[in-house]
Amino acid sequence: MTDRQDTRPHAAAKPARWAGDAVAAMREGARVRLDYSAQSLWRVDRMIEEIRREGPPYAAVESALRGFGAYAGEVIVRQTGAEWWATGGEHWVRTPDGRLWDPIEEARRCYGGHGSLRLLCRDATVSG
């Protein structure tokens, strides 16, 4: 059996890489700098909305959405001291108050026109 310290790096490895890939893609492709601040999520929400308006098939943007969600999760982790948790290939963020958040799913909801990574972060950083 492993303790929490052993599981944290493993659970965070993929989302941290996905977030870094999203930051690099935004910097190189869209010339947008992301700094892991809550304010930067405004830009991410706008980028997802622009992509949605262009209408590409979901399969074409799935990886980018995963990266945007992971980026939002990393913002929450850095703002609150939260931790990434992983089960069955799914990744969540657990804030210190014990609440679970699914920023990757929220990015998918944004693409569907029904979500906001900025609002998810706001809600996650307010104590429950």
Query: Do the beta carbons of residue 95 and residue 124 sit within 8 Å?
Result: yes
Q: What's residue 3's pLDDT?
A: 43
Helical axes 103-111 vs 40-54, angle rounded to 10°: 40
Q: Token match 């929400």: residue?
A: 45
Q: What's residue 4's pLDDT?
A: 43
Q: What's residue 1's pLDDT?
A: 42
Instruction: Decide the pairing of beta strands 90-94 and 100-101.
Output: antiparallel
Interatomic CA distance for residues 75 and 118, integer angstroms: 10
Q: What's residue 42's pLDDT?
A: 96
Whether pTM exceeds 0.85: yes
Q: What's residue 128's pLDDT?
A: 57
Interatomic CA distance for residues 27 and 4, integer angstroms: 34
Report which secondary-structure segment, H or E, holds 128: none
Cross-strand bridge partners of residue 84: 93
User: At residue 82, what is the residue type?
Assistant: A
Q: What is the mean pLDDT of each run of 10 residues along the chain (128 residues)?
A: 48 92 92 94 96 95 97 97 92 96 97 96 86
Q: What's residue 10's pLDDT?
A: 77
Query: Do the beta carbons of residue 61 and residue 67 sit within 8 Å?
Result: no
User: At residue 100, what is the residue type?
Assistant: L
Q: What's residue 29's pLDDT?
A: 86
Q: What's residue 111's pLDDT?
A: 97
